[in-house]
A and B are shown apart, each in its own frame.
Chain A
């Protein structure tokens, strides 16, 4: 039995460890940030006037439309934080509703936290549906939205239950270091989910348009990927907004086009640009990079969570769960600007990849303009909204990128 370490030495050791971890984190983040095929740093976006691409009435209408949604979103976030804050203080009293053991009770408390949040956010969700219906962007009825979002809680609860079972199960054995073992497990689960996610998207069918399929195969060859599954998701009953997504990796790589993109408002050439953008995501391994970014943000998040849980006796105790849920959500909200900036960079890189693949900047410009007008999104929103809500570059930035590509190609 040696002498206990002096306080100063212990402090120095902790500081050194933290500095080392921070350095490692920054190095990994930098490596991820610069990996893939980002937009070349030499590219400078020209400043273009939105009035040249959009009518004055549309600019006014879309700004007004989005302003409401921003305010609604901020109020919903405030409701989320207040509700979870109160729940963190009082939630443990709901342990009396459980006949489950330690882990089961923790799972119940976690689920009830999100259930209460759902209740608190219902008015803001309904307000958003009302606004979207009023502007013709959504066709969903209020009851449909309510039932749909209520049932979605089931899948949220499922993932939450799994995460809490892992965390609390490990905390029961490893005490305060549970997160170090939980981190690789969570990353593994995220990988698994990303892999199977294409099969979890509801109401899809194969892309049947032969000329688009041929275009997609040609784009795959150009962008250096193959075997991409092409699916169409039926969403026209709930929304008029067009969209697409790329998901999965390896044999499950999939591009999903919303059927609202194929309803005749977009020309084949414009749909081809959207396909090129999504295939670029797959060519850049963005789904996998997303998991890597998740791990990078997640590991410190879980470590901080473990620290927070110690205020209520540690993660192994169910009464710590309400506080942990509040801490996790608050920390995630704090990280949102960083996460959004990563997402915007990834989207810009996919736009650049699409330009390189199609070499049709004018068509891409038109597609971006139409994407904005059909979903009534503000092409040039205030900067703060991009920081908080912007997962994609603004429509004007995407249009400016096409012009920058053109200038580079000359």
Chain B
């Protein structure tokens, strides 16, 4: 999610996402005990039961809170505290269950857990927004269905959106499932997967706070502000997002049919790319590096795919070109020069890519919802909401990195978490080690 030079300051631990009334606080602790990971679902069961009981109480209190805010314009401090504690505890439990945090979460929702939520004290809220809270929350529920999904079963209301949008795999479930295998194998949670879980938890906490009338700030799906600190990375396949947010209503309205020629062209190009990738596979196995011409051809294909995806899913505004040329689109893909690759990793490329393909399916659901919600938003406002755009950009970047990996453009495994992009190192021909996450 390249924001160019606007990289964040160096990471400190723990750090807090500022500026929002509901903030996720993540302590960078990736070590995991294999035994605890193996039995994680069973270990979380008592906490989930306790959370369920608490949820019933919270639901009843929330109705009361809604009426109070509607009449007085602000929540009662005691009720606010109770509901904030519930949200915090739910986040603790789900962070534990989904391997974003290691220690047991306790039973009281006290602050200080490794993945925690800070919620501002009660403030005045817009009564109209309170009155129509459930209706207003529908788009956020749809987005939550793809980000948080069913696993956050305590978030019962979130499941309202599942029937229409969340039938696919959610990011949280996919990341947690992959994280489980990785943590069993490595004894630590890969940073990308942990951050993806944290992003989902951040969105879930914001949504729940909004539904419980703790705040009238609409949940933001922006992964770049979901929590701090986010890493700054230099991947061989990286995305730069120079989009300014403006959208032409005319091209937004006709976005799907306008994309049809591109989709057909992309399919035809994809057939050639498949044959080129097979040729590259043999050549890379034999020589250790992919031939320059094939690397260039496949890089252009991956770049073109990103351009088309950005246009189709409203992450970018202008109509893209048909050649995948570099520096032609605001949402741009930078691909490093070809590098030597590990022959074993090349030989087993398809097998190695399976986890990433699973995650890409979850990102696909996210992109679809981003496009649908963004379509309505951009049609009315002439702009793409920043949170939606950046959520879509995260999905596109991951997909592009996955294709780069699958088509042997790079050996670097796709990075799933939100991150900033640093400028590439001066020498592009680098060899990166594959790492899940």
Q: Which residues from chain A sit less than 8 Å from chain B, CB to CB?
A: 94, 97-101, 103-105, 107-108, 111-112, 115-116, 150-151, 153-158, 161-162
Contacts and interface: CB of A to CB of B under 8 A. Distances in A.
A108 B253 CA distance: 14
B319 A98 contact: yes
B271 interface: no
15 contacts: A94-B248, A97-B250, A97-B251, A97-B317, A100-B328, A108-B258, A108-B319, A115-B250, A115-B254, A115-B258, A154-B260, A155-B260, A156-B257, A157-B258, A158-B261
Contact of A101 (B254, B256, B323): B323
A153 B254 CA distance: 9
B257 A99 contact: no
Given A108-B258, A112-B254, A115-B254, 6 more contacts: A97-B319, A101-B325, A103-B322, A104-B322, A108-B319, A153-B254
B329 interface: yes
B320 A104 contact: yes
B4 interface: no
A157 B251 CA distance: 13
Contacts of B317: 97
A156 B328 CA distance: 26
Interface of B: 248, 250-251, 253-254, 256-258, 260-261, 264, 307, 316-323, 325, 328-330
Contacts of A101: 321, 323, 325, 328
Contacts of B251: 97, 112
B257 A115 contact: yes
A112 B250 CA distance: 8
Contact of A99 (B260, B261, B329): B329
A77 B307 CA distance: 36
A103 B320 CA distance: 11
A167 B401 CA distance: 36
Given A94-B250, A97-B251, A112-B250, A153 B257 contact: yes
Contacts of B250: 94, 97, 112, 115-116
Contacts of A157: 257-258, 260-261
Nearest to B331: A99
Nearest to B248: A97
A133 B260 CA distance: 31
A104 B321 contact: yes
A154 B323 contact: no
A154 B264 CA distance: 11
B110 to A, nearest CB: 52
B7 to A, nearest CB: 25
Contacts of B328: 99-101
Nearest to A104: B321
Nearest to A151: B257
B305 to A, nearest CB: 15
Contacts of A153: 254, 257
B358 to A, nearest CB: 30
B318 A99 contact: yes
Contacts of A158: 260-261, 264
A208 B323 CA distance: 47
Contacts of A161: 261
A277 B240 CA distance: 61
Contact of B319 (A100, A151, A154, A156): A100
Contact of A104 (B264, B316, B319): B319
Nearest to A100: B321
Contacts of B330: 99
A97 B321 contact: no
Nearest to A150: B257
A108 B311 CA distance: 13
B264 A100 contact: no
A97 B318 contact: yes
B347 to A, nearest CB: 38
A166 to B, nearest CB: 13
Given A94-B250, A111-B258, A112-B251, A99 B264 contact: no
A156 B330 CA distance: 28
Given A112-B250, A115-B250, A99 B258 contact: no
A111 B318 CA distance: 14
Nearest to B329: A99
A98 B307 CA distance: 12
Nearest to A103: B322
Nearest to B260: A154
A118 to B, nearest CB: 8
Contacts of A150: 257
Contacts of A156: 257
Nearest to A99: B318
Contacts of A151: 256-257
B209 to A, nearest CB: 37
A157 B248 CA distance: 19
Nearest to B330: A99
Nearest to A107: B261
B205 to A, nearest CB: 37
Nearest to B316: A99
B320 A100 contact: yes
Nearest to B322: A104
A108 B259 CA distance: 10
A100 B323 CA distance: 9
A394 to B, nearest CB: 36
Nearest to A118: B254
Contacts of B253: 115
A101 B321 CA distance: 6
Interface centre among B251, B323, B325, by most A CB within 10 Å?
A: B251
